[in-house]
Structure 1
């Protein structure tokens, strides 16, 4: 079963490579009729306004909304998360069309511009419980959004805690990430609602394919290559040898 990747702009090639790594075919999607041939869809990170203009040009929005309403699994990363949100703030003049479906409000450019891009370890207990591996995931945030509010049917999968000058307070916050509400010091960066998944960061830019495997299971696509042991061994071997950190975000 093929998984589609919206390929108008952004990191669609990286998603296709990640899918290939775990034995699943990724199909580039640029036209509405192509959605009829896939079982699930990934909307990648990129420049959300540009992606929206291209989607409008190709008349993709009605087909994308129908795809979501049919209950087919859709995962949005970074700009893709903005696409799937019911409401987005911090947009450019005139705003942009949204696909909608996720009962949440996102701030389109919460962390700032390109210079405020960063990497950090996120607590991901749901991913660890389902896919194995450690309780953390290396989140890559590039001109990233953040989720400010969620509805009652939305499951929060990861928070980001803003680093504190008080190391004891920071440690306490980190240990209780999924037990406290969103605030100025804590924002939501990964959510799930029914058939929809959204991450403010870019899992496709890491060697850790657990988020892709998690999404494939949402879509009912499980392959022998996506076993936990292969993912964990390959990722942590690569990660120990290659680590080029971006700055940690500060207020």
Structure 2
């Protein structure tokens, strides 16, 4: 197994660091050749419109979507979740990979100054994770499993087949529970 981390923009170094700690083979994905070498992909948090522009300019956008639709496991955090979604409410013309049957609203928990940490349940354990200009999942389609919610009831982590996403940034905490779950995605 080789995990790729899309490394065009955003918090990719933090994901690479966790994968190193987990002794998992991993590479940065910046080109189509890089993408062809991976069996799993992480799309990091960052700025979704910048990430969209960079994936299109690099020629990776359609290749990433094709690999996901062919069954490659993928995990998106924050902006990565926006990229995987099927609809962005506040930017209805924003192009997405449309691989995860959810609708999202960008920056729904507030601006940078409104960033916060919260304890959430993830697979029967409690983890404390940061929400930084985080998107909110406003709708989920059939076949989408909820992995985590805030106390308010807001859904903050989901999975649909080989695709998972979180509104929060587990890569910034040093904890590895979410990444460990992703590494087993599709192997169960």
TMscore range, shorter length? over 0.9
Aligned counterpart in structure 1 of residue 108 of structure 2, from 97, 107, 110: 110
List gaps (5 residues or longer) in structure 1.
129-134, 163-185, 222-251
Q: Which residue of 2 aligns with 1:29?
A: 29
For the 8 Å contact 1:75–1:196, the answer to whether it is kept is yes
1:161 match: secondary structure:
coil
2:119 is matched with 121
How many pairs align? 188
In structure 1, how many angstroms separate the alpha carbons of the residues matched to 2:18 and 2:35? 20
Q: Which of 95, 98, 101 is matched with 1:97 structurally?
A: 95
- Give the TM-score taking structure 1 as reference length: 0.72
Is residue 84 from structure 1 mapped to residue 74 from structure 2 by the alignment? no
TM-score by length of 2: 0.95
CA distance in 2, matches of 1:156, 1:218: 15
Q: Residue 158 of structure 2 aligns with which residue?
A: 191
Deviation at 1:220, TM superposition (A): 4.2
- Rg: which structure is higher? 1
- Please list, as runs of the form range in 1=range in 2, the aligned pairs for 1:192-211 lying within 5 A after superposition: 192-211=159-178
CA distance in 1, matches of 2:139, 2:93: 19
Partner of 2:56: 56
Contact kept, 8 Å, 2:73 with 2:186, in 1: the verdict is: yes
Larger strand percent: 2
Higher-helix-fraction structure: 1
Contiguous gaps of at least 5 residues in structure 2: none
Q: In the alignment, is residue 214 of structure 1 matched against residue 159 of structure 2?
A: no
Alpha-carbon distance between aligned partners in 1 of 2:72 and 2:57, rounded to the nearest angstrom: 23
